[in-house]
Amino acid sequence: MTEDYICLTYILKWGIDKSDSFKDPKSILQEFLQAKGERPTQYNCKKITTKGKKNFSCSAIFDGFEFQAYGNSKKTAQMKVAQKILRALDR
């Protein structure tokens, strides 16, 4: 599944305004949590350098589970973590 399809699925399923379909997974997750009166997700990110290449590892604890992802930027890694959390919420 593409990220755009996943975001649109949650927008439609959770009643988020369709005009917000351009939003990324992190924004959708934050809005969903705010609507439920819950605190925003806290991301723990670390820069990892191997063979001169910079990458980031990010993780977040949500509902007692740790979600982790990697990316070539901190933002990308956070988006991937949020996407994993959204998928878990859908189950």
Q: Tell me the C-alpha to C-alpha distance, in Å, between residue 20 and each of 8, 42, 49, 56, 88.
A: 9, 22, 35, 27, 21
Check pLDDT > 70 for residue 18: no
Question: Beta partners for 57?
Answer: 46, 70
Higher pLDDT pick, 32 / 7: 32
Return the pLDDT at 22: 62
Residue 61 phi, psi dihedral angles, 5° rounding: -95, 125
If residue 40 lies in a helix (H) or strand (E), which one and from where to where?
none
pLDDT per residue as tens digits for the range 23-73: 788 988 998 888 889 888 999 999 998 888 889 999 999 989 999 999 999
How far apart (Å, rounded) are the C-alpha atoms in residues 28 and 15?
A: 11
Alpha helices by DSSP H, listed for 14-63, are: 25-35
Enter the pTM of the model. 0.75
Return the pLDDT at 70: 95
